């Protein structure tokens, strides 16, 4: 029996005995990988990967168990587990991260004044761009200001 056939038989037997947390499969693959490395198997079709492919064992599964086995014997250090983030705290004004937040305007009149300033800025910009007839823009601006002053615009 050749070395390759022996490896095939042992890996197949270990694969068939593998259970959820069984390291035997990882140990067998780990040992055969070491033996094949020592023999100098470097070309395509040789080594543990070729045997895994022939047996239709996913390489990722084999390397997962080899890694688990290496960690169990101390040949490799375990990867640190991912930290689960703590649950976020409920929103409060103190933990607000956005710097552009300001205190709310105290009354509706404050919003009306702000709307008038915004209207004036828009009116000036439209006049500058000559987007419409000047008299129509002026009439529209006055109409909105009156609606805001009378309180029926909101």
- Helices 48-55 and 24-39: angle between axes, nearest 10 degrees: 130
Least confidently predicted of 33-37, 86-90, 110-114, 118-122: 86-90
**% of the chain surpassing 70 pLDDT:** 81
Q: Are 145 and 116 in contact (CB under 8 A)?
A: yes
* Predicted TM-score of the model (pTM): 0.45
Can you read off the two tokens belonging to residue 85? 């983030």
- On the question of pLDDT at 98 being above 60, the answer is yes
**% of the chain surpassing 90 pLDDT:** 1
Q: What is the pLDDT of residues 24-57, one digit of tens each?
A: 888 888 988 888 876 666 666 678 888 888 888 8
Tell me the pLDDT band of 107, cut-offs 50, 70 and 90: confident
Q: Using CA of residue 8, residue 10, residue 11, residue 16, what is the dihedral sign?
A: positive
Over residues 51-69, mean pLDDT: 88
Domain boundaries of the chain, sorted by first residue: 3-73, 106-150
């Amino acid at each position: 029996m050749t070395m390759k056939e022996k490896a095939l038989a042992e890996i197949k037997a270990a694969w068939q005995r593998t259970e959820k947390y069984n390291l035997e499969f990882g140990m067998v693959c780990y040992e055969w990988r070491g033996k094949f490395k020592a023999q100098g198997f470097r070309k395509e079709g040789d080594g543990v990967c070729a045997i895994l492919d022939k047996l239709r064992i996913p390489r990722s599964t084999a390397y997962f168990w080899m890694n688990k086995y290496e960690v169990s014997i101390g040949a490799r250090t375990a990867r640190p587990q991912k930290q689960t983030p703590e649950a976020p705290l409920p929103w409060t004004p103190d933990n607000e991260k956005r710097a552009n937040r300001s205190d709310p305007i105290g009354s509706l009149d404050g919003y009306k004044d702000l709307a008038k300033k915004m209207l004036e800025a828009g009116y000036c910009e439209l006049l500058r761009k000559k987007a419409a007839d000047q008299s129509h823009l002026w009439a529209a601006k006055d109409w909105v200001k009156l609606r805001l002053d009378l309180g029926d615009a909101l």
